[in-house]
């Protein structure tokens, strides 16, 4: 399973990139706005770190304008994946961009039928938002199970990128289902490595090591 950071903070990405566990980055307009920096400058810095997959979202709403924006974003760096919203215009734009060889991440996906359509127009990634479904009293993980099954049934190549992850159990459940990618905030990724027994065990080992005769 690939692990992505869902952030536009270059500092966060650099820290996780150096650990060697990071496979990619997803951004969205809200995350970019939080940084208070120019979008393309942020994208260039992320790509310069060597991150192989960096999702950058279009903000146009017509198919033609999405295609134009998508081509521009893709041209910024070979690691860029163009994020396109799941709308009728987004489907049309994805079909054009995918046919040209642009890797598209279809975003704002909340149903399995939307995910089916994303695969049919050639999206490389589909991004179902599970946390936002949980917030509406709908079990987000059920959607992941459905999409993974549908894609397996028809051998679609589109990869399931689980988004809107809120805690490590979301990552664990997505991995058990067999989702391809999980994108998460920095704090969630940090928690994947943590366990109090690891900390306690290490403290004990170091304390006991003091009793070992040295030389
Ligand atoms: O990047 C898309 C998605 O991960 C957003 O998550 O927490 O705003 O629902 P959230």
Q: Which two tokens stand for residue 100?
A: 């040209």
pLDDT of the residue at 26? 98
pLDDT of the residue at 86? 98
The alpha carbon of 202 and the centre of ligand 1 are apart by a number of angstroms equal to 35
The CATH superfamily of 2-209 is Aldolase class I (3.20.20.70)
Per-position DSSP letters for 111-151, written without gaps between them? SHHHHHHHHHTT-SEEEEBHHHHHTTTS-HHHHHHHHHHHH
Ligand 1, atom nearest to 163 Cα: 4
pLDDT of the residue at 41? 97
Q: How do residues 109-132 score in pLDDT, each as one tens digit? A: 999 999 999 999 999 999 999 999
The alpha carbon of 207 and the centre of ligand 1 are apart by a number of angstroms equal to 42
Alpha-carbon distance of 159 to 154, in angstroms, equals 13
Mutate to test the pocket of ligand 1, among 129, 179, 181 (most ligand atoms within 8 A of CB): 129
Establish whether 83 is a catalytic residue.
yes
Closest protein CA for atom 5 of ligand 1: 164
Closest CA to 123 of 102, 137, 144, 141: 102
Residue ranges in the chain modelled with pLDDT below 50: none
Half-sphere exposure of 89 (CA within 13 A, CB side): 14
pTM: 0.96
Mutate to test the pocket of ligand 1, among 58, 131, 170, 184 (most ligand atoms within 8 A of CB): 131
Which neighbouring-strand residues pair with 163? 129
Alpha-carbon distance of 196 to 139, in angstroms, equals 29
């Amino acid at each position: 399973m690939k692990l992505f950071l869902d952030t536009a903070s270059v500092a966060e990405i650099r820290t996780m990139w150096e650990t060697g566990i990071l496979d990619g980055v997803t951004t969205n307009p809200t995350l970019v706005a939080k940084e208070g920096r120019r979008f393309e400058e942020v994208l260039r810095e992320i790509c310069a770190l060597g991150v192989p997959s960096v999702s950058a979202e279009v903000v146009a709403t017509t198919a033609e304008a999405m295609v134009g924006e998508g081509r521009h974003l893709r041209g910024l760096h070979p690691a860029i994946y163009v994020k396109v919203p799941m709308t009728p215009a987004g489907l049309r734009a994805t079909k054009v961009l995918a046919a040209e060889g642009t890797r598209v991440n279809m975003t704002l996906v909340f149903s399995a039928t939307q995910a089916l359509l994303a695969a049919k127009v050639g999206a490389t990634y589909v991004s179902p938002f599970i946390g936002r479904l949980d917030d509406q009293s709908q079990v987000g993980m059920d959607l992941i199970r459905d999409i993974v099954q549908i894609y397996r049934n028809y051998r679609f190549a589109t990869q399931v990128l689980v988004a809107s992850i809120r805690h490590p159990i979301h990552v664990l459940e997505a991995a058990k289902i067999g989702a391809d990618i999980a994108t998460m905030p920095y704090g969630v990724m940090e928690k994947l490595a943590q366990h109090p027994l690891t900390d306690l065990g290490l403290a004990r080992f170091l304390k006991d090591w003091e009793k070992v005769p040295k030389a």
